[in-house]
Amino acid sequence: MNKTKELSLKGLLIALVTVSTMVIKVPVPATEGYIHLGDSMIYLSSILFGPGVGLIAGGLGSALADLLSGYGHWALPTLIIKGIEGLIIGKIAIRSRGETSVRFKDVIAALLGGGWMVAGYYLGGAILTKSFIAPLSSIPWNIIQAVGGAVIAFPVLFAILKTDLLEI
C-alpha cells in the first residue's frame, strides 16, 4: 500500500473509532464513563490492517473521543491504553494477504486486547484516584465493553472478509 493510501486509511479509521465511540454512549455511573461501540472498530482495524494501524486508530481515535466528549482527564491514559490494545490485537492477529476467514487467533487477539483494556483502565483509574480500591467497580463494566465490542466486531469482520472490499 502506498503512503497516500496508508495515511488516508489511518485517518479514516481514527475517525471511525472516534465517531463510533461518541455516537452511542451508555453512561456507567459507577465508573463515571460510558459503554460505546469504539472497541469494535479497534478490533476490526487491528485485525484487518495490523498492529500499526490498530495502534494509531485505537489510541488517537479513542483519545480524540475523550477530548470531544468532556473526558479530557482520561485522554492521555486512553491514548496509551487503547493504542496498546490495538497493537496487541494487531500483533496477534497478523493476517496474510488474501486470507478470507475469521481465525481462532483473531478471537484470542480480541480476548487478550480486551483483557489489556480492562487492566489498563483499572491501572489508569488507580493512578487518577490514587486508590487501588476505587477503580475495582470499573472492571465488570470494562469487561462488558470488551465482550460487547467483540460481539459486534466479529460478524462485521466475517462479512467484510467475504467481500472484495480489502482489495485496495
Q: Which CATH class is domain 3-161?
A: mainly alpha
Q: Is the pLDDT of residue 91 over 70?
A: yes
The one-character DSSP state at 30 is T
Cα radius of gyration rounded to whole Å, the chain: 15
As a whole number of angstroms, the distance between CA 97 and CA 48 comes to 10
DSSP conformation class of 119: H
Residue 97, pLDDT above cutoff 80:
no
CA-to-CA distance for 28 and 19, rounded, in angstroms? Answer: 19
As given in the structure block, the three cell numbers for residue 31 are: 465508573
Kindly state the DSSP code that residue 35 receives in the 8-state scheme. E
How do the domains of the chain map onto residue ranges?
Answer: 3-161
The bridge status of strand 33-35 relative to strand 26-28 is antiparallel
Query: How many Cβ atoms sit within 10 Å of the Cβ of residue 38?
Result: 28
**pLDDT tens digits for range 112-154:** 999 999 999 999 999 999 999 999 999 999 999 999 999 999 9
Please report the pLDDT score of residue 68 as a whole number: 97
- Per-residue pLDDT, 25: 87
* Cell numbers that stand for 48 in this block: 484487518
